[in-house]
Structure 1
Amino acid sequence: MIAQIQTRIIKSLVYDPWVNLAIEEHLLDQVTEDEVILYLWQNDNTVVIGRNQNAWKECRHLDLECEGGKLARRLSGGGAVYHDLGNLNFTFIMNKKHYDLSKQLTVILQAVTKIGIKAEFSGRNDLVIGEKKFSGNAYFFNQAGALHHGTILIDSDLTKLSRYLQVSREKISSKGVDSVRSRVVNLSEVCKTVTLAAVIEGMEESFNDVYGGDAQEISVDRNDFKIKSLVQKYSSWDWRFGNTPKFDLSISRRFGWGELELGFCLKNGRIDSVQVFSDALEEGLIREIGKGLEGCSFRSDRMIEHLIKGEGQSENQAIIIKDVVLWLSETEL
């Protein structure tokens, strides 16, 4: 007998990214085997970077902090995003066996349809209207749970988005546009009457339509000891910035799946440590690449040997490894 899925809707009442990300991780840790959670939240004046990104390169964090903003780093991979109260964040949280990207995206697309806007999924992680993005998506998996989260631009300050985010010229040119501002669109630019309340209502109705029944709406105690401990993690310097040493050598390239930078610290002809920065969605694999190269001789053929040892890779992971191996084989090291 197949167990019935229980659904919950949780809405955060605070606009602090460190608290909201702590609640998100807490929900991922606590989700039961046959439960699907829709978590809705907002951050004010915030830049959130991907798990493996270099904070110094992705965001003008000093400008952001001088203007009362906060820098945060999330669990998932992908690129940097700007959040304010004109943006709504959503997170689907569930056991891995219930993870269904198509089903989750349907919730968002149907919600937008309810307010009279036609949209579609495009590329590796974007929801678009025409050729402009209004929602970026990212994913994270732990041993048992799955998390899919993203943004919905409703009436965000795109001037601040352009000012705080330092998108590489290579990334912009690969999309055929000349600025980060020209790549995105607010729902309010498409439908003048759209409101935050209408989008939230649409998300809740669509969630119930897709998953069936009426989801319970519950609250989370932000003073829970586990959440308070996670807030300390997300607000810490080590988590947000990390230790970025002076590299002996750094190489980088943009691929179809994202940008990759390898920063090497060398000792006696071997890789003493390597820092890997990337906006790739496969955040776990990116971190494994770095770990796998440590202690290896600083030679392309030796590094390639270490990279191709991995087994049990998904199709996307196999593509990444193949691309990196080809890149290293063409690089003089």
Structure 2
Amino acid sequence: MLCIKHHSTDPYFNIATDEFIFKHLKEDCFMLWRNDNAIIVGKHQNTQAEINADYVKEKGIKVVRRLSGGGAVYHDLGNLNFSFTRTGDSYEMVDFERYTKPIIDVLKSLGVDAKFEGRNDLTIEGKKFSGNAEHVVKNKILHHGTLLFSSQMTDVSGALKINPLKYKDRSVKSVPKRVTNISDHLKEKISLEEFTNKVMDHITSTFEDARMYEFTEEDLKKIQQIRDEKYSTWEWNFGKSPDYNFKQGARTKGGTLEMHMNVSQGIIKDVRITGDFFHIKDIEPVERALENTKHEENAIREVLQQFNLKEYFNNISEDDLVAVMF
């Protein structure tokens, strides 16, 4: 088994790396890695319904869709991620306890009473510190999980906080749970780097065929290509969302404003703008112009800038209209 300490903190590159070790390396792998601020959404989720758009924009948080299902998770540099790839008999592939056991073993050696609970979580004193997801194709599995070590909890909650009334769809919803950092439960404090080394040492000493591996230049070029062509694109991260209906209202200087939209594959299919605002011209041309536009801020602004909005909405700005669309 190839053991990799991956040093990139670019979320797009790292999720591409997960795909690379799963699809392009024949040997089984174990990898440890970290992302700078990012929300990683499950393959079958509606991205817009999982993120706090204003918070994400303000903090410069990257949003990336992964290969596996499950719910959205927040990553920062206080969060350690681990990935396993394995080839074997298909009937034994999906086994969350099997792949999380090494993590529990390391924590128990540090005096932390960690447990596997529910479908795919690791907990300490009933609080979640690790969520796990799996992706299976034929007889090969990618299992990856998060390990909250010293994450900023205000960012975890702020980035994922969303108004459930905005979106109506059939996508897989994240279920908020009480979370905790591993570092808060250690009897003797250690750094994240020391913890990372302990996990890797445990893996290399437990698995007989384990050996360290460094990505080659050819590997890195392939990962970069996957990153650029897939994981850094709006089409993958937002356009792959299931169809959804969106509704939101807001108070503005010009009165109440409500936005109703039907969105398919990230594209706005129809729009209805209602409220008690005053207008000079009929707003239908604005509604029609927004059809077939990405549900994405820059694309929406580009459409709105074609209009002298003062002629359509009294005391309602472009910023007001954009804000009520997310």
Same fold (TM over 0.5): yes
Helix, strand or coil at the partner of 1:128? strand
Deviation at 1:166, TM superposition (A): 2.6
What's the counterpart of residue 149 of structure 1? 144
Deviation of 1:196 after TM superposition, in Å, equals 0.9
1:200 to 2:196 alignment: yes
* Closer, same or farther: CA 62–220 of 1 in aligned 2, 3 Å: farther
Between the aligned partners of 1:68 and 1:247, the Cα distance in structure 2 is: 25
Q: Using a 3 Å threshold, how does the CA distance of structure 1 residues 152 and 243 change in structure 2: closer, same or farther?
A: closer
> SS of 1:200's equivalent?
helix
- Tell me the CA shift for residue 117 of structure 1: 1.0
Partner of 2:123: 128
For residue 193 of structure 1, give the secondary structure of its aligned residue in structure 2.
coil
State yes or no: 1:158 paired with 2:153. yes
- Contact 1:23 / 1:222 at 8 angstroms: preserved in 2? no
The corresponding residue for 2:135 is: 140
**Are the equivalent residues in 2 in contact too, given 1:31–1:94 (CA < 8 A)?**
no
Post-superposition offset of 1:121: 0.4
The residue that corresponds to 2:87 in the other structure is: 95
Aligned residues: 237
Decide whether the 8 Å contact of 2:130 with 2:146 is kept in 1. Answer: yes
Amino acid aligned to 2:143: H
Q: Give yes or no for contact 1:31–1:95 (8 Å, CA) kept in 2.
A: no
CA contact (8 A) 2:22 2:142 kept: yes
Q: Is residue 2:242 matched to residue 1:239?
A: no
1:215 maps onto 2:207 in alignment:
no
Shift of 1:94: 1.5
Q: Deviations over 1:282-333 (max 9, x none)?
A: xxxxxxxxxxxxxxxxxxxxxxxxxxxxxxxxxxxxxxxxxxxxxxxxxxxx
TM-score, normalised with respect to structure 1: 0.64
TM-score where L is the length of structure 2 = 0.65
* Mapped partners of 2:22, 2:152: distance in 1: 30
* Structure 2 residue 75 is the aligned partner of structure 1 residue 83: yes
Change (3 A) 1:241 1:42: same
Deviation at 1:211, TM superposition (A): 2.0
Once the two structures are TM-superposed, the CA of residue 239 in structure 1 deviates from its matched residue by 0.5
Tell me the equivalent position of 2:12. 18
SS in 1 for 2:157: helix
How far residue 246 of structure 1 moved from its aligned partner, in angstroms, is 7.2
User: For 1:65 and 1:221, how far apart are their aligned partners in 2?
Assistant: 34
The structure in which a higher percent of residues are helix is 1
How many percent of aligned residue pairs carry the same amino acid? 34
Query: Which residue matches 2:46?
Result: 54
Q: CA deviation at 1:52?
A: 0.8
Change in 2 beyond 3 A, CA 1:136/1:221: farther
Partner-residue secondary structure (3-state), 2:30: strand
Provide the C-alpha distance between the structure 2 equivalents of 1:69 and 1:36, rounded to a whole number of angstroms: 31
8 Å contact 1:154–1:194 — kept in the other structure? no
By how many angstroms is 1:47 displaced?
A: 0.7
- What is the distance in 1 between the residues matched to 2:242 and 2:127? 37
Offset at 1:55? 0.9
- Could you tell me which residue of structure 1 aligns to residue 56 of structure 2? 64
1:320 — aligned with what? none
Q: Which moved more, 1:45-54 or 1:160-169?
A: 160-169
Indicate the SS of the match to 1:183. coil
